[in-house]
Chains A and B, each alone.
Chain A
Amino acid sequence: MISPFVFAEKALNANPKYKNSPMGQQLMNCIRNRDNAAGEQLANNILQTYGINKDDAIRQASEGLTQMFHL
């Protein structure tokens, strides 16, 4: 099974539009340094900005991934 870090890094590399943004670079630093806490903090800040709570975000993400991968 593919590592989540590798998955995230490849996803970010495939989207240079997001990768080259300040937030994308910060995320890439978190991934490369395997810094879980910083990554989680960044994700929490984004969710706070969007006004979504963590549980809802996880549910929506899992639904989206299920739909994408036809699971």
Chain B
Amino acid sequence: MASPYRTGGAYYGNYVNYGNQQQSTTGGYYPTNQGQTSIDGYQNNMLQQNPNPGNAFGISTQTQPQQQYSYIPGRMVRDEQDIIAKEVPMDGSYGVFVQQDMQTIYAKTWGNDGYIHTNVYRLVNGQQEPQNDPIAEILNRLQRIEERLGETKPQGSNDRPKNNYRKNNYRKNNYQNKNQEEVKND
């Protein structure tokens, strides 16, 4: 049976060449034939890690050292539907998939519920709709109010409008009260 990783290597291009050979062939997330849904990748992976068939699935108590990626698993994709489950690492790390138009990046990882969780990153200064800046909106509104006030202000008047209504009213009332007191005293 032909190893599915051979086609996977060609598919990934340069990504496979990073890291050592063992890393490049581990994990069920390297694609098999695109249309095929199979768990063979996982089984082959187990065979490669445990070449002794009697010891399949790693029944021995020996533990393998934790593998560190020297590359980021992922590839260029046309859209999100182009990503298959097998390409997402099952070790808790993220697979990073860049859309061909460089507008969107999908970071995918397996959650503890058995589903793939996706973080989507979009290009900010690309074809983004202008956002409403609340401060700019307030400043614009203030400017409009200032312009409107400028229009209503009569020509040649001082900048500070005189509003002596209260003061005059107070004086008038005081004057009246004083007069009433004088009348009472008389």
Interface string of B42-86 (1 = CB under 8 A from A): 010011011001101111111110110000000000000000011
Cα A65 to Cα B39 in complex, Å, equals: 12
Whole-angstrom distance between the Cβ of B63 and the nearest chain A Cβ? 6
B112: CB under 8 A from chain A? yes
Set of chain A residues within 8 Å of B58, measured between Cβ atoms: 10-11, 13-15
Choose one: A44, A65, A69; the contact of B114 (CB below 8 Å).
Answer: A44
Q: Which residues of A contact B85 (CB under 8 A)?
A: 49-51
Contacts of A68 in B (CB 8 A): 43, 46-47, 53, 56-57
How far is it, in angstroms, between the C-alpha of A22 and the C-alpha of B37 when the chains are bound? 24
Please, how many residues of chain B have a CB less than 8 angstroms from a CB on the other chain? Answer: 35
Determine the residue in chain A with the shortest Cβ distance to B67.
Answer: A17
Q: Which of A25-50 contact B (CB under 8 A)?
A: 25-26, 41-46, 48-50
Tally of A interface residues using CB under 8 Å: 36
Residue of B nearest to A52 (CB): B37
A40 to chain B minimum Cβ distance, whole angstroms, is 11
Given A7-B57, A17-B64, A18-B91; A60-B39 close (CB under 8 Å): yes
Least distance between A39 CB and chain B CB atoms (Å): 10
When the two chains form their complex, are residues A49 and B114 in contact, meaning their CB atoms are under 8 A apart? Answer: yes
CB neighbours (8 Å) of B147 from chain A are none
Chain B residues in 8 Å Cβ range of A61: 39, 43
Closest-CB distance, B48 to chain A (whole angstroms): 12
Contact pick for A50, options B37, B54, B56, B59, CB 8 Å: B37
Assess whether B12 is interfacial by the CB under 8 Å rule. no
For residue B142, CB closer than 8 A to chain A, the reply is: no
Which B residues contact A (CB, under 8 angstroms)? Answer: 26, 37-40, 43, 46-47, 49-50, 53-54, 56-64, 66-67, 85-86, 90-92, 110-116
The chain A residues found within 8 Å of chain B, CB to CB, are 7, 10-11, 13-18, 20-26, 41-46, 48-52, 57, 60-61, 64-65, 67-70
